[in-house]
């Protein structure tokens, strides 16, 4: 960590997809400008929401009709990758990390930043008793599946060869935002309904509930992960909220970008 630059721990209340993504972009833009600190954030979604990757087409691979019928939100992330179903704090924890490569001690490229973050995630999940492993090289399969958990990428995390954490990143120069989804549990019928073209969305994933024999609480997982970021990387995370500027920027991004039909349809 660069001396004099504090890291912020941000734990926000569950909110809708547009607000969640706007918060992370506001922090990311603030970090680029030097007005926001490096930030580790843990959050959940209300209502449950499908998030699409930045460049992922909005097509038949995600059932828009099922989202509407089930009251599931739909939003496009600023980060890449494939779609994820965020099933509220009872079954899923989402993390984000916003930083520069200098904040990570000079990690130079995408792989190094993924690995830096994954080290902390692995340590935190192992502290909870989960026998997780970091996958150094992406496994085979469709490189761009409709459903994020259908394929394990490099430096993603598995239990017994099944994916339990899915992550995606977006960079601007040396500054990046990375999102990740940690499965506490799963609603199997709903997952199949939302991803009708994925042959068996359960075949390649697992959950902390399956590994531990009980479903851990959101707050307990967040606390274990925060402690692991501190321990693995020598950080001091300071619990804090959004700044007034970040809050105002996020509100503008909701209205002008993330809640719009144009953004959901896909970048041009």
Answer whether 51's CB lies under 8 Å from 264's CB: no
Q: Please give the model's pTM, rounded to 2 decimal places.
A: 0.94
The answer on pLDDT for 84 being more than 50 is yes
What's the whole-number average pLDDT of the chain? 92
d(CA 85, CA 24): 18
Q: Model confidence over 36-63: pLDDT tens digits?
A: 999 999 999 999 999 999 999 988 789 9
Answer whether 61's CB lies under 8 Å from 148's CB: no
Give the helix/strand (H/E) hosting 7: strand 7-11
Q: Model confidence over 204-221: pLDDT tens digits?
A: 999 999 999 999 999 999
Share of the chain above pLDDT 70, in %: 96
Q: Which residues form the catalytic set?
A: 148
The domain covering 7-261 belongs, at the CATH homologous superfamily level, to: Bira Bifunctional Protein; Domain 2 (3.30.930.10)
Strand partners, 97: 40, 178
Domain segments of the chain as ranges: 7-261
């Amino acid at each position: 960590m660069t001396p004099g630059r504090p890291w912020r721990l941000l734990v926000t209340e569950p909110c809708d997809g547009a607000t969640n993504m706007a918060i992370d972009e506001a922090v990311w833009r603030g970090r680029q400008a030097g007005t926001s600190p490096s930030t580790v954030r843990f959050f959940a979604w209300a209502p449950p929401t499908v998030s699409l990757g930045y460049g992922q087409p909005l097509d038949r691979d995600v059932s828009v009709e099922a989202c509407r019928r089930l009251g599931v939100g739909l939003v496009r992330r600023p980060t890449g990758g494939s779609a994820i179903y965020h099933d509220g704090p009872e079954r899923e924890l989402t993390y984000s990390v916003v930083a520069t490569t200098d904040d990570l001690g000079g990690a130079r490229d995408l792989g190094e930043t993924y690995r830096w973050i994954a080290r902390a995630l692995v340590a935190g999940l192992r502290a909870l008793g989960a026998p997780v492993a970091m996958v150094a090289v992406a496994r085979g399969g469709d490189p761009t599946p409709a459903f994020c958990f259908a394929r394990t990428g490099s430096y993603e995390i598995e239990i017994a060869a099944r994916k339990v954490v899915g992550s995606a990143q977006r960079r601007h120069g040396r500054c990046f935002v990375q999102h990740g989804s940690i499965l506490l549990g799963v609603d199997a019928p709903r997952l199949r309904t939302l991803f009708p073209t994925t042959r068996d969305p359960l075949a390649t994933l697992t959950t902390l509930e399956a590994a531990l024999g009980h479903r851990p609480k959101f707050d307990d997982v967040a606390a274990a992960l925060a402690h692991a970021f501190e321990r693995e990387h020598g950080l001091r995370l300071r619990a804090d909220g959004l700044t007034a500027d970040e809050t105002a920027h996020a509100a503008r991004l909701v209205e002008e970008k993330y809640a719009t039909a144009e953004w959901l349809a896909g970048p041009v």
